[in-house]
């Protein structure tokens, strides 16, 4: 069974930073990692849906340009809500299909929901890495408690430690996280 490394964690815990550390650790080993995010899949499918209607949306800008993304946010949000209402597994299924077509070792950078975990678990050997960071450290990165955001199921559904394979502490430096990424890469992919 193919191994997938899945990163889980709260807002501002450092999921993207850990993913970048994993990429660096992989490059040192001459290993090419494939990285997928369910949120990115929503954007990719949104761009395709808009193109089918004759509307050009730039996926790269939608991903990296905050102002551009904000200009499309209402339509993207509605697309995502409608797509999930029609099929709650639409994005996880699309990501799984892309993973199956890509032979590289794979990291999912935004595992947030039980539905995603339940879909992936029978198909792959999962290593679920939970990034844990104190509120003080998260605040230094710009996090501020927001009851609506922090209480949302995307922030709480995977809080049960029995769902995690390993905990990655992220209260230290990026160098500390680089070391953890190297260990995690070895654990997941040998």
Low-confidence ranges of the chain (pLDDT < 50): none
What is the per-residue pLDDT for 69? 87
What is the per-residue pLDDT for 179? 98
- Considering the domain architecture, whether residues 109 and 183 belong to the same structural domain is answered as yes
- Considering the domain architecture, whether residues 174 and 115 belong to the same structural domain is answered as yes
Nearest CA-CA partner of 133 in 164, 181, 173: 173
Q: Are 164 and 130 in contact (CB under 8 A)?
A: yes
- Considering the domain architecture, whether residues 151 and 113 belong to the same structural domain is answered as yes
- Considering the domain architecture, whether residues 81 and 26 belong to the same structural domain is answered as no
Nearest CA-CA partner of 136 in 7, 8, 9, 13: 13
Cross-strand pairs, 168:
131
Domain C-terminal end among 83, 102, 121: 102
What is the per-residue pLDDT for 26? 98
- Considering the domain architecture, whether residues 185 and 108 belong to the same structural domain is answered as yes
pLDDT tens across 101-155, in order? 999 999 999 999 999 999 999 999 999 999 999 999 999 999 999 998 899 888 9
What's the burial of 39, exposed, middle or buried (CB within 10 Å: 0-12/13-18/19+)?
Answer: middle
Look up the domain containing 73 and give its range.
39-102
- Considering the domain architecture, whether residues 82 and 173 belong to the same structural domain is answered as no
- Specify the number of domains making up the chain: 2
- Considering the domain architecture, whether residues 138 and 96 belong to the same structural domain is answered as no
- CATH number for the domain harbouring residue 17: 3.40.50.300
What is the per-residue pLDDT for 36? 96
What is the per-residue pLDDT for 66? 82
Distances 59 to 56, 65, 95 between C-alpha atoms, Å: 9, 10, 16
Q: What is the distance between the alpha carbons of residues 34 and 108, in angstroms, rounded to a whole number?
A: 8
- Considering the domain architecture, whether residues 166 and 138 belong to the same structural domain is answered as yes
* H or E element, residue 168: strand 166-169
Domain C-terminal end among 71, 86, 102: 102
**Three-state DSSP class for residue 178:** helix
What is the per-residue pLDDT for 121? 98
Give me Rg for the CA atoms of the chain. Answer: 17
Domain C-terminal end among 56, 84, 102: 102
């Amino acid at each position: 069974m193919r191994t997938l490394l899945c990163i889980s964690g709260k807002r501002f815990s450092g999921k993207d930073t850990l993913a970048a550390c994993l990429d660096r650790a992989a490059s040192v080993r001459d290993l090419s990692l494939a990285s997928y995010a369910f949120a990115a899949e929503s954007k990719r499918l949104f761009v395709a849906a808009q193109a089918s209607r004759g509307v050009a949306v730039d996926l790269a800008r939608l991903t990296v340009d905050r102002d551009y993304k904000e200009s499309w946010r209402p339509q993207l949000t509605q697309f995502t809500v409608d797509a999930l209402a029609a099929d709650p597994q639409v994005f996880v299924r699309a990501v799984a299909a892309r993973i199956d077509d890509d032979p590289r070792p794979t990291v999912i950078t935004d595992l947030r929901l039980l539905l995603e975990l339940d879909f992936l678990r029978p198909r792959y050997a999962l290593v679920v890495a939970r990034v844990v960071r104190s509120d003080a450290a998260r605040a230094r990165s710009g996090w501020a408690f927001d009851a609506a955001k922090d209480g949302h199921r995307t922030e709480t559904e995977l809080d049960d430690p029995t769902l995690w394979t390993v905990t990655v502490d992220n209260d230290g430096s990026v160098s500390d996280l680089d070391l953890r990424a190297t260990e995690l890469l070895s654990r997941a992919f040998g």
